[in-house]
């Protein structure tokens, strides 16, 4: 049986209990998540052919430092970068390096800032110059998956409703849902209970309650869903080398739905795609 605890008084470790947050916690998350969204906004003008993912990562570190925030990924379980940069067939956890982006690439940039102890976790896809129609369509489908997942969030429903909404849309569009990675509770911890699966059925998972805070971050492939992790221990790629896309928001469950904490203040939630 899953148990729910008051985030204000529960010990700060992931023991499987689900934290319920109050108004002050939501305010803390708004600030951290807004900083992450503003960083992802700034990156729209930075991502272009010739730029290295290392330069992008440096910007993420500096922007955080300028605003009193630390990247949560830095020294997290041995990871040594301020962001994840996942290009083309890389599903997630791509490690920034000195290789330049090239025209036609699509890259996911995933940033989590810690501000005043609160974690703001979000990612978007960035087309590099002009990209193929198939790549653009995959990004559109994946963003729509995220938004349909978010639309399923409300108290009383189960987390499986999120996965069901995502899976049914992705597969109707002849795409596949990655099973090996999921969304997660977030707040004062980076990765907390519960897991948010991006597939499944509405009667699975745990009941959503007001005050829960978690991410939804579907990874959608043009080909088959299977992934493998490269020898660096982080980089996850599609086994069939098909293109993969991902968008991520952090949301808080409200009395009648949810608040999306990581929305772009500039309306740049889907860079390079027509405004939704």
Contact with ligand MF3 (CB under 6 A) among 93, 158, 188, 270: 93
Residues whose CB falls within 8 Å of the CB of residue 131, separated by 6 or more in sequence, listed in order: 104, 105, 106, 272
CA distances, 135 to each of 40, 42, 158 (Å) = 20, 22, 32
Collapsed DSSP state (helix, strand, coil) of residue 252? strand
Could you tell which of Co ion, ligand MF3, none binds residue 269, using a CB distance below 5 to 8 A set by kind? none
59 binds, among ligand MF3, Co ion, none (CB under 5 to 8 A by kind): none
Phi, psi for 231 (deg, rounded to 5)? -60, -20
Q: Supply the minimum distance, in Å, between the C-beta of residue 49 and ligand MF3.
A: 25
Min dist CB 255 to ligand MF3, Å, is: 27
Per CB under 6 A, which of residues 9..68 are in contact with ligand MF3?
none
**Which of 237, 270, 206 lies closest to 40 in space, CA to CA?**
270
Return the number of the residue (157 or 189) whose C-beta is nearest ligand MF3.
189
DSSP 8-state assignment for residue 190: S
Select the binding partner of residue 73 from ligand MF3, Co ion, none (C-beta < 5 to 8 A, by kind).
Answer: ligand MF3
Residue 82: name its binding partner from ligand MF3, Co ion, none (Cβ under 5 to 8 Å by kind).
Answer: none
Residue 242 touching ligand MF3 (CB under 6 A): no
6 binding partner (options Co ion, ligand MF3, none; Cβ < 5 to 8 Å by kind):
none
CB 152 within 8 A of CB 260: no
Query: For Co ion, which stretch binds (CB under 5 A), given 12-20, 69-77, 92-100, 208-216?
Result: 208-216
Contact 140, 124 (CB under 8 A): no
Alpha carbon distance 211, 200 (integer Å):
23
CA distance 118 to 121: 10
Q: What are the beta bridge partners of residue 6?
A: 20
In the complex, the residues that contact ligand MF3 under the rule CB under 6 A are 73, 76-77, 79, 84, 93, 110, 112, 121, 215, 217, 234, 248
In the complex, the residues that contact Co ion under the rule CB under 5 A are 110, 121, 215, 248
């Amino acid at each position: 049986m899953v148990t729910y605890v008051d985030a204000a008084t529960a010990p700060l470790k992931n023991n499987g209990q689900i934290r319920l947050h109050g108004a002050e916690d939501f305010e803390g998350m708004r600030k951290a998540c807004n900083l992450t969204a503003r960083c992802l906004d700034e990156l729209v003008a930075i991502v272009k052919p010739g730029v290295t993912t290392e330069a992008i990562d440096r910007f993420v570190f500096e922007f955080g430092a300028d605003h009193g925030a630390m990247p949560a990924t830095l020294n997290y379980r041995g990871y040594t970068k301020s962001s994840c940069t996942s290009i083309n067939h890389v599903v997630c956890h791509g490690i920034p390096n000195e290789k330049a982006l090239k025209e036609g690439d699509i890259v996911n940039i995933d940033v989590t800032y810690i501000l005043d102890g609160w974690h703001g976790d979000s990612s978007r896809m960035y087309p590099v110059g002009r990209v193929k129609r198939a790549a653009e369509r995959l990004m559109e489908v994946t963003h729509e998956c995220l938004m349909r997942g978010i639309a399923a969030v409300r108290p009383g429903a189960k987390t499986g409703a999120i996965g069901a909404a995502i899976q049914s849309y992705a597969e109707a569009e002849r795409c596949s849902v990655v099973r090996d990675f999921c969304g997660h509770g977030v707040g004062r911890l980076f990765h907390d209970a519960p897991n948010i699966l991006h597939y499944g059925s509405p009667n699975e998972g745990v009941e959503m309650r007001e005050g829960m805070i978690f991410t939804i971050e579907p990874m959608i492939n043009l080909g088959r869903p299977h992934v493998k992790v490269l020898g660096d221990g982080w980089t996850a790629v599609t086994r069939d080398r098909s293109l993969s896309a991902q968008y991520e928001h952090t949301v808080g469950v409200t009395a009648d739905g949810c608040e999306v904490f990581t929305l772009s203040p500039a309306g740049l939630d889907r860079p390079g795609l027509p405004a939704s």
